[in-house]
Structures are given as structure tokens and as C-alpha cells.
Amino acid sequence: MKTKIAASLLSADMLYLSDELKRLEQAGIDWLHYDVMDGVFVPNISFGLPVLKAISQKTKLFRDVHLMIHNPYFYIHKFVLSGADLITFHLESTSDPFSTIKAIKDYHCQAGISIKPATPAKALLPFLDDVDVILVMTVEPGFGGQSYLHEVTPKIKEIKNMIQGRNILIEVDGGIDQQTAPEALEAGADILVTGSYLFRQEDMKKTADALRNIII
């Protein structure tokens, strides 16, 4: 499968979001990665429902919503109504991951599950028949602009092997740039999330194409 690029809006210029969306569209970005933080599950607060709704009305880009919130179950329908195409929640954020996946699927949305750097791959085993995406964090969730944690790379490989023939995409999130992307891709990443690196570039299209065309 061709590598997909998911741009993390966390690094966009918040005062000029509609210009930033145009920039992403013109750059041919595949997915819009929307990081929601609640100040409880992670020590930071980002944006939530009204901003997603406004964005959804403005762009056709695929909305990849990454929930870093405690008890995501209670907010699933609101994120769907606000325009999410895929909702990924953290395994560590809920005592009932199965109901959370079911809630997402009941709304005909794609479902993803994410794990923090310290959570082992085998924790995902019970969910492999139910999710569309596994999002592997290669930084501690909460902030953009951190460095890729190389010790997580073997876990990406392990997850790739675990998936076997299933139709699950592996998304890698945190510290992705031209230097670290080959390592994540070689381990099995299908989707690369990029925030601070992408938004810092003058020529976003060139950067996205270069990441997408890395040969491993």
C-alpha cells in the first residue's frame, strides 16, 4: 500500500486555520490528524468539538481524530456529529475499550485504537478483529515537537506481525521527519503522522511527497 501522510493540525497556525487547510489540500495531504487533549489523560489541552465542526464544513480532507481524553466513550457521538471519519482512542484511557469501539462502529465511523510508548503490543490482541487502525505513539502523548523514541520501533514490527492478513492500517505518531520516517516505514507503518516537521516547511507538497516516496 502507498504510504499515507496525516498532517497534525496541532502545529498549524490557529488564527489562520482556513488558510492552513488550503495549504494542506494543495500539498496533497492524505489525512487531517486532529489531536484532542483534555488535560486529564494527557497534561495538555488542545481543541475539541466546535473547531472540528468548523473544519469539517470547510474541507473534504479525511478527518482522522486522535482522542487523548479520559473516558472517550461518552464523547464518541459528538465527535461523529462534528465530522470525524475515523476516531482513534487510547487503550489506556478507558476501562471498556470494546464498548468504545462498538459505539464508533455503530455510527458508521472507522475505529482506531492507540497505545502509548510503554504499553506492550500484546495488549492489542483482543481488538484485532474489530479495529481499522492501530495508532502507535512514538512519543509520550500530549505535545507536538518531541523526538521520536527509537525504542518503540521494534513494537511497530511486532504489531505488523500480529496483524497477519487483517485489513488494519498501522499509523505512527510522534517525531516523524525525513530522518525517522524510514525507520517507522521499515517497521511496518502505513500512515505517517507529521506535525511540527511538516508545518515548518516552506514547500509542504515537496515534503509530503518526499515522505510518501521513501523507498525501504
* Interacting residues toward ligand DX5 by CB under 6 A: 8, 10-11, 33, 35, 66, 139, 141-146, 173-176, 193-197
Q: How far apart are CA 132 and CA 211, in angstroms?
A: 23
Contact pattern from residue 67 through residue 106 relative to Zn ion, giving x for each residue in contact according to CB under 5 A and a dash for the rest:
----------------------------------------
Is 190 assigned a catalytic role?
Answer: no
Minimal distance, residue 141 CB to ligand DX5, in Å: 4
Q: How far is CA 208 from the centre of its chain?
A: 16
35 catalytically annotated = yes
Catalytic residue selected from 30, 35, 132, 190:
35
Closer residue to ligand DX5 in complex, CB, 14/125: 14
* Contact letters for Zn ion, residues 165-194 (x by CB under 5 A): --------x---------------------
Q: How many residues bind Zn ion (CB under 5 A)?
A: 3
Residue 174's binding partner out of ligand DX5, Zn ion, none, with CB under 5 to 8 Å set by partner kind? ligand DX5
b/e burial code for range 68-94 (CB count within 10 A of at least 16 → b): bbebbbebbeebbebbbebbbbbbbbb
C-beta closer to Zn ion: residue 107 or 143:
143
What is the distance between the alpha carbons of residues 163 and 18, in angstroms, rounded to a whole number? 37
Beta carbon of residue 29, minimum distance to ligand DX5 (angstroms, whole number): 13
In 3D space, the residue among 3, 197, 6 whose CA is nearest the CA of residue 110 turns out to be 6
Q: DSSP string spanning 24-69?
A: HHHTT-SEEEEEEEBSSSSS-B---HHHHHHHHHH--SEEEEEEE-
At which residue does the C-alpha cell 484511557 appear?
93
Applying CB under 5 A, the residues found at the interface with Zn ion are 35, 66, 173
Active site residues: 35, 173
